[in-house]
Amino acid sequence: MTAQRFHPSRGQLVDIGGRRMRAALAGPDTDRPLIVLECGAFGCAADWAVVQERLAARGLRSLAYDRAGLGYSDPSPEPRDGRAIAADLEALLARLGETGPIVYTGHSMAGLMARVFVPRNRERVLGVVLVDAVTPEMLDVRRTAAGIHAYRGAMKLVGAWSSAGFMRPVSLVIGDLIGLEGEARKEKRRIYGSASHTRWAAEEVVNWPRTSALGCEAGGFEPELPVAVVTAGGAEVQARLKALQVVPAQRSQRGYVEHVRGANHANLLGKAFADPIVTGVEHVLRAAERA
């Protein structure tokens, strides 16, 4: 495997056994649960910079990271499906010495990964926050499945041609739709334009059906697990999609739903709209404390 050529200006590279993963920890050193932040498709740790800052201001510790092959993390020889991704995160947490309780927070495609990781680590996961996230069951709905498969087809081509370097100029236009600032913004654009990042991010998308199947096999979240769902746009925006997104919270005995009017899929993580995500995290923490 070829190591990444750049060293992250934020966070650290952690050896998880012959390859390195980039981890960005933020917040005070407390014994409160760790908030684990999983990015969506083509994402990286920088996506969570604003959310991490807001969590830290509330006295909460968080971890954002680059999955294998993404951002500054070394690639992995394993198929980039939910099982391999969950195993990597488990290894990263172990190497960091993070053995305590966590709140799993996932954006977009990370909704699939949540359904794989959480059952594997149920004894330590206090709750889940889904941020404009997809669910494995969306492949069972004709309209959403058609859109997903079209996206997969496009990303397969993008991955195949990633070495051509066409993402570098593209990154100048759409490299940061979140609205990041400072070093996080520079980092996001640099990563988005990377051929290696593009290749491995596309591979994750191509594995969408496999990760969905793994999530379905693991079953839904247990009813007693607190689940917060935060979606982009008012309740009337893409109502059919939202009806699928909110199901995990509806099935939870301690569920929470917030539709963030004015936000879109990307800038929901940015300065103008990040607070509802923090509210979702706090709901999960309070619900877990009351259990």
Q: What is the mean pLDDT of residues 172-185?
A: 83
Q: Which CATH superfamily is domain 12-290 in?
A: Alpha/Beta hydrolase fold, catalytic domain (3.40.50.1820)
C-alpha distance from residue 89 to each of 104, 118, 241 (Å): 11, 11, 28
Using 50, 70 and 90 to split pLDDT, how confident is the model at 163? low
pLDDT of 194: 87
Q: What is the mean pLDDT of residues 230-252?
A: 96
Q: Which residue has the tokens 């092959």?
A: 69
- Is residue 166 predicted with pLDDT exceeding 60? no
Provide, rounded to the nearest whole percent, the portion of the chain with pLDDT above 90: 79
Using 50, 70 and 90 to split pLDDT, how confident is the model at 167? low
- pLDDT greater at residue 167 or residue 19: 19
Quote the CA–CA distance of 23 and 72 in Å, as a whole number: 9
pLDDT tens, residue by residue, 184-227:
999 998 998 888 898 899 999 999 999 999 999 999 999 999 99
Going along the chain, which residue ranges are E strands?
12-15, 20-26, 34-38, 61-65, 102-107, 125-131, 227-232, 255-260
pLDDT tens, residue by residue, 86-129:
999 999 999 999 999 999 999 999 999 999 999 999 999 999 99
pLDDT, mean over the chain: 91
pLDDT of 159: 62
- Is residue 161 predicted with pLDDT exceeding 60? no
β-pair type (102-107, 34-38)? parallel
Provide, rounded to the nearest whole percent, the portion of the chain with pLDDT above 70: 90
Where is 90: in which H helix or E strand? helix 82-95
Q: What is the mean pLDDT of residues 14-24?
A: 96
pLDDT of 174: 61
